Amino acid sequence: MNRFRNMTLILALLLVTVLVLFGIRGMERHLDRTIDSERLRFSGAVSDAPPAVAFTTMAMGSFRGLLADVLWLRSETLKSKKNYFEMVQLARWITDLQPNYSGGTVYLAWNLAYNISVTSSDFEDRWYWVNEGIKLIRDKVLLYNPDDPLLYKELSWIFLHKLGNLMDDANLYYKNQLATQMTNILGSTTPDWEKLASAPANQAEFMKIYPEDSEFWVAVKKAGYNNYDELFTAFMTPVKAALPDTLRLYLNQEQFNILEGFFRAELLRKRLKLDPVKMVAIDRKYGKMDWRVPESQALYWAETGIEKSIANSGKPEINCIRIVSHALQSAFRSGRLLTMDADGKYIQMVPNLNLADSAYKAFEAGEAEFSGSGAGNSFRSAKINYLKDAIPLIYINGNITKAQEFFDKLVAIDGPQKRRTLDEFVMVEYAEDVRDADIKKASGVVSGLIQRAIFNMLIGNREAAVANERLARYIHHSYSLKNKDVKRNTLPPYNEIKKGVVQNNLVNLPPAMRSILEAEIAAEQARDAENAAGKYMQKETTAM
């Protein structure tokens, strides 16, 4: 009896063991599928990782996951306690422990840029957190996940939505800081991009052209810099990067210019991870960009994401395509920086009309790429809305021919409009702009009307010039009055907008037309002085 009971117990245990083994095998398969889908598998080495990351991943092996879990829990605890500064370090450690876990990195970066940033009332503090979110993806994770489209999509979205959009009260400060950052690296608001793109691609290439024993480095050493690292450190140390003036005593102008061009391109690659060669290629593909604005950098990273996704799967990443089209649309509306103040209180953006056709073609390409699907229909709707938005903006900036071309496209795609002519369509849109415009559109309309006024004045159509400026003042006044209590929608003073447009014309107009404009400015200043004097005399007379 005892023997039978023992045999039964053994068989039962064997059966339980078999069932447990089958269960473990099923769970293992499920975990493998999850690991593959979420890209959690660690191969034993991380491509292009910094030494600290490589050591951590190799030394800790499988225990990395356990420690990462503890840090994730700690991170959430710190978030609830609003201990945000320690969270930044934890985010870096988690990334070091799980360098291939893109989804986790995206969450951490989004948390910094969105959730934590808005807890600060000080704009400078907000910019710190947003910038930390950007740097976590751009400067850290992309180093050893360079082929992951998800990272490029999320990075471009932060630039387009968080920096480029208007939802955050600090958005003007973000734009100002980004533009200042770029200008400090490039040393100019209008750098020679072709020159930067033609510079050596890295230090090794530069040293091939100018070996250590060349006359170039002999001259540099006479200026007090013993090697490349010392000289590059001296260049990038000032807030506004610049070569030491002492170099001019030992290098001729051509050598100085070559060195400066290379160092600026190299600093751009190191600090912002932007390649001048690719930036020039994007300019040629879409039109001249202003690389100081967030929409341009959003476009850069989304383009990179498309390239990586095609290389990986043969298909473009749809979300990156969407960001490209919307970045072009946004940059068309207000993608050129006209003026900004040093304190970050305002920054004046105007339309980049060079991108009108490229934005339209981007929506058209998206519709064609995903034709017959919901995505294709969404691109078609976006294309129609873009045309309706673009036509008045192009019209008021003086390109009536292009406005008519776009209006004809709109009629062909969307059918006859309620306002059957271009002029009727634009007048209706003006009325809606005054009532419903956001700050980007309002700024674009006002600056466009001022530009059109200047154009009409230059060709002798003074009545049209007066009418355009009268409408510009009306729109500015109406919009400012409606949004007087909404800080994020505060337009710069009208005179500042006008000053920026005038200065831009003085730089870009041919000499003959510039002389006409300068004479008109002088006459307007004389009239203002005369009117001011008249009001003063009237006041004094009344007082007596």
Provide the residue-wise pLDDT of the chain in tens; the chain has 544 residues: 567 677 777 777 788 787 887 777 777 677 667 666 655 544 444 444 455 545 555 555 555 656 666 666 666 676 666 666 666 666 767 767 666 777 777 888 888 899 888 888 899 999 999 999 999 899 988 887 899 998 999 999 999 999 998 888 899 899 999 999 999 999 988 899 999 999 999 999 999 999 988 999 999 999 999 999 999 999 999 999 999 999 999 999 999 999 999 999 999 999 999 999 999 999 999 999 999 999 999 999 999 999 999 998 888 999 999 999 999 999 999 899 888 776 656 787 888 999 999 999 999 999 999 988 888 999 999 999 999 999 988 887 778 889 899 999 999 998 888 777 887 787 777 766 656 667 777 888 888 888 888 877 887 777 767 767 877 887 888 888 887 777 777 788 888 898 888 888 888 888 888 888 888 888 877 777 776 655 544 554 444 3
- Residue 314 counted as domain residue: no
- Would you state the pLDDT for residue 544? 38
Contacts of 162 (CB under 8 A, 6+ apart): 113, 114, 130, 168, 174
pLDDT at res. 42:
45
Q: Is residue 423 part of a domain?
A: yes
| Position 61 in a domain | yes
User: Tell me, what's the pLDDT at 138?
Assistant: 94
Considering the domain boundaries, does residue 136 fall inside one? Answer: yes
Domain closes at, from 272, 300, 316: 272
Any domain includes 406: yes
Which of the listed residues 272, 302, 326 is the one where a domain comes to its end?
Answer: 272
pLDDT of res. 175: 93
Q: Do residues 65 and 131 both lie within one domain?
A: yes
Taking residue 342's Cβ as centre, other Cβ atoms within 10 Å add up to 7
Q: Which residue has the tokens 């400060």?
A: 173
CA dist 60 and 55 (Å) reads 8
- Residue 300: CB atoms within 10 A of its CB come to 25
Question: Do 98 and 104 touch, CB atoms closer than 8 A?
Answer: yes
**CB distance 155 to 134 below 8 Å:** yes
What confidence score (pLDDT) does residue 189 get?
A: 85
Beta bridge partners of 347: 340
| 349: β partners | 337
Q: Which of 392, 385, 469, 470 is nearest to 426 (CA)?
A: 392
Listed residues 225, 256, 272: the one ending a domain: 272
Structure tokens at 235: 């260049």
pLDDT at 541: 45
Domains in the chain, number: 3
**Domain of residue 61, residue span:** 38-144
CB 329 within 8 A of CB 163: no
Instruction: Classify residue 80: in a domain, yes or no.
Output: yes
Q: Looking at the domain assignment, is residue 203 inside a domain?
A: yes
Q: Are residues 42 and 135 in the same domain?
A: yes
- Flag whether 184 is in a domain: no
